[in-house]
Structure 1
Amino acid sequence: MIAGIELGGTKCICMLATFEGKIAERVRIATTDPDTTLAAIEDTVAGWCGIDAIGIASFGPIAIDRASPDYGWITATPKPGWAGTDVAGRIERRFGVPVGFQTDVVGAALAEGEWGASRQLADHAYVTIGTGVGVGLVASARPVVGLTHQELGHFRPVRREGDDWPGNCPFHGACCEGLASGPAIAARTGRRADALPAEWPAWALVAHPLAQLCHLLVLTGIPRRIVFGGGVALGALALLPLVREMLDASLGDYGDRALLGDLDAFIVPAELGADAGPLGAILLGRQALADG
């Protein structure tokens, strides 16, 4: 049995599942301060017998380099009180089983690859559009890691002609997240994304940076499919068709376009919904168990 913990900015989902992903238990915990939240998670997991490994899919930024002294920590997060919190080490010391630790976006990417929109594909990308814009890259069915995790939501796109809105990212202004996230849409329009009609003409202003993000992902040579999740991406019917159209124009005739195939099958919506994060944590625990 594997315990999965999706540690989110507002809530945590603790899940108990079999190695194959059959869900046995699911518990929701509010994310408050670190000590209260982690203690509640520990109490939940302690009530489950026979756990062989634990996976944690966490909000970030986080330290994922196992050679680093702060591996398993939440690092420079803007969430009050959570910067410098040792998450994975605390859980591992409490339960004494292998613990996998990655971002919540990578967790969702792994789950979509195993049971969702990218199943049977070992190389894929997951893009979440919600409170922020996040990207998880998976190659050979494992997260792509190096110095740290991907932060591609903060790349700076070329602006659409005539659009000089400054964006709302507190760090980079008009980065992809500052132009296309839920808070960015609300700041620009005064309305939540789910309250905007499909025929809203300015969806093109949201799709434009996302298409450039997809262009960038294509040029990495990794994803055989790009899956979009998150409330904005899954709630706006007009968005993905515009992203596909703009990606097609952006790529032009460069490269072997036959590799991408039909863009309707290359850029697709996520299938697992709210289960993607905790199921991804289950997979992180499974990988930690396999790695010993």
Structure 2
Amino acid sequence: MTANLSIAGLELGGTKCVATLGSGPGDVREQHVVPTTDPATTLAGLEAVLDSWSFDAIGIASFGPIELNPARPNFGSIIATTKPGWNDTDLTRRLSARYGKPLAIQTDVNGAALAEARWGASAGLSTHAYITIGTGVGVGLVANGRPIMGYAHGEAGHMRSARAPGDTFQGWCPYHGDCAEGLLSGPALAARFGRPGQDVADDAPEWDYFAHDLAALLHNLIVSLAPERIAIGGGVMTRRPQLFGAVRAKVAASINGYGALAGYSAELDERVGPPGLGDMAGPLGAIAMGLEALDR
């Protein structure tokens, strides 16, 4: 029974980290937030929390990119990230040495996708996706029950797609300019709108660009993977759930009744929506990884 287990789950995000002690959505015993600043300060803050807990395993769900190939010497490290100061930050060796417990690591979005499959709106599905739109744009992709992994984990948040007519915004991403993250993330919206997204009225015409760009990302995911469900979380969509309607309409128009996906377009209200776990999808993703560490 998982309720008899104690998992220390660490969700590392671009602005904050969440440490959770428990075994699932019905068993969250403690939760602490540590601001994401520099690696030394942030990890010391998380270790101060873990030092006060008794637990059976550690699960990490972190912003990335992360090296997830165990055969590589920097396995479990954050690599080539847009987060200043975090390149080459080791996570797994440091925590394994300190606590001596089973440990598993994944990207934050893959962890959230696995939590959605274990406890949320993707339960019973083998192929699904989780997208978070906040400080960055992350896409977790699960096929046949496991996160997709090739040479590295996927980076669909940096996918490029056709721009809306008349949209001349250059994009915010320092690597790719107008990729999905460069158009949809919180910093991108602030740069595009000239003010934070939360200060823009719900009915402002600027949101049409956002809906177009998110629909373009979804189009590419649907035609390449055909996920049975796409959960979209993160601060931007959580604050503006009314955008789901506009995004679904644009996705349907983009797919345009094509082939086997015609039926998918007719089911977008069920296929595309918020995570079943709400804003707990991320923290529970870390718990899911801790349970996987014990399963191994």
With the length of structure 1 as denominator, give the TM-score of the two structures: 0.92
| Match among 145, 156, 163 for residue 160 of structure 2 | 156
Cα distance, 1:287 vs structure 2: 0.9
Gapped regions of structure 2 (runs ≥ 5):
1-5
Is 2:40 aligned against 1:40? no
| Match among 50, 53, 72 for residue 68 of structure 1 | 72
Query: Would you say the 8 A contact 2:257–2:265 is kept in 1?
Result: no
Query: Would you say the 8 A contact 1:199–1:238 is kept in 2?
Result: no
Is 2:265 aligned against 1:264? no
The aligned residue for residue 151 of structure 2 is 147
Is 2:214 aligned against 1:210? yes
Q: C-alpha separation between the residues in 2 aligned to 1:221 and 1:42?
A: 38
The aligned residue for residue 82 of structure 2 is 78
Any idea what SS the aligned residue of 1:232 has? helix
User: C-alpha offsets along residues 21-56 of structure 1, whole Å, 9 cap, x if unaligned?
Assistant: 51111122223332332233223223222x221100
Cα distance, 1:227 vs structure 2: 0.8
Is 2:224 aligned against 1:226? no
Q: C-alpha separation between the residues in 1 aligned to 2:47 and 2:285?
A: 19
Q: C-alpha separation between the residues in 2 aligned to 1:76 and 1:221?
A: 26
Is 2:122 aligned against 1:118? yes
Structure 1 residues 35 and 181 mapped into 2: Cα distance closer, same or farther (>3 Å)?
closer
Task: Please tell me the residue identity of whatever aligns with 2:250.
Answer: M
Any idea what SS the aligned residue of 2:87 has? coil
Is 2:1 aligned against 1:4? no
Cα distance, 1:261 vs structure 2: 4.8
Any idea what SS the aligned residue of 1:18 has? strand
Residue identity over aligned pairs, in percent, reads 51
Is 2:78 aligned against 1:92? no
Task: Please tell me the residue identity of whatever aligns with 2:287.
Answer: I
Q: C-alpha separation between the residues in 1 aligned to 2:155 and 2:128?
A: 16
Q: C-alpha separation between the residues in 1 aligned to 2:191 and 2:113?
A: 28
Cα distance, 1:269 vs structure 2: 1.5
Query: Would you say the 8 A contact 1:52–1:97 is kept in 2?
Result: yes
Task: Please tell me the residue identity of whatever aligns with 1:85.
Answer: T
Cα distance, 1:99 vs structure 2: 0.8
> How many residues of Structure 1 are paired with residues of Structure 2 in the alignment?
290
> Greater shift after overlay, 186-195 or 208-217?
186-195
Cα distance, 1:260 vs structure 2: 5.6
Detail structure 1 runs of 4+ shifted over 6 Å in the superposition.
none
Q: C-alpha separation between the residues in 2 aligned to 1:280 and 1:58?
A: 10
Q: How does 1:16-27 map to 2 (within 5 A)?
A: 16-18=21-23, 22-27=27-32
Cα distance, 1:57 vs structure 2: 0.7
Q: C-alpha separation between the residues in 2 aligned to 1:260 and 1:153?
A: 22
Query: Would you say the 8 A contact 1:224–1:260 is kept in 2?
Result: no
The aligned residue for residue 240 of structure 1 is 244
Any idea what SS the aligned residue of 1:32 has? coil
Q: C-alpha separation between the residues in 2 aligned to 1:43 and 1:234?
A: 30
Cα distance, 1:259 vs structure 2: 4.7
Structure 1 residues 222 and 90 mapped into 2: Cα distance closer, same or farther (>3 Å)?
farther
Gapped regions of structure 1 (runs ≥ 5):
none
Q: C-alpha separation between the residues in 1 aligned to 2:194 and 2:86?
A: 30
Task: Please tell me the residue identity of whatever aligns with 1:13.
Answer: V
Q: C-alpha separation between the residues in 1 aligned to 2:144 and 2:26?
A: 19
The aligned residue for residue 279 of structure 1 is 284
Q: C-alpha separation between the residues in 2 aligned to 1:161 and 1:180?
A: 17
Is 2:62 aligned against 1:53? no
The aligned residue for residue 173 of structure 2 is 169
Cα distance, 1:254 vs structure 2: 1.7
The aligned residue for residue 3 of structure 2 is none
The aligned residue for residue 33 of structure 2 is 28
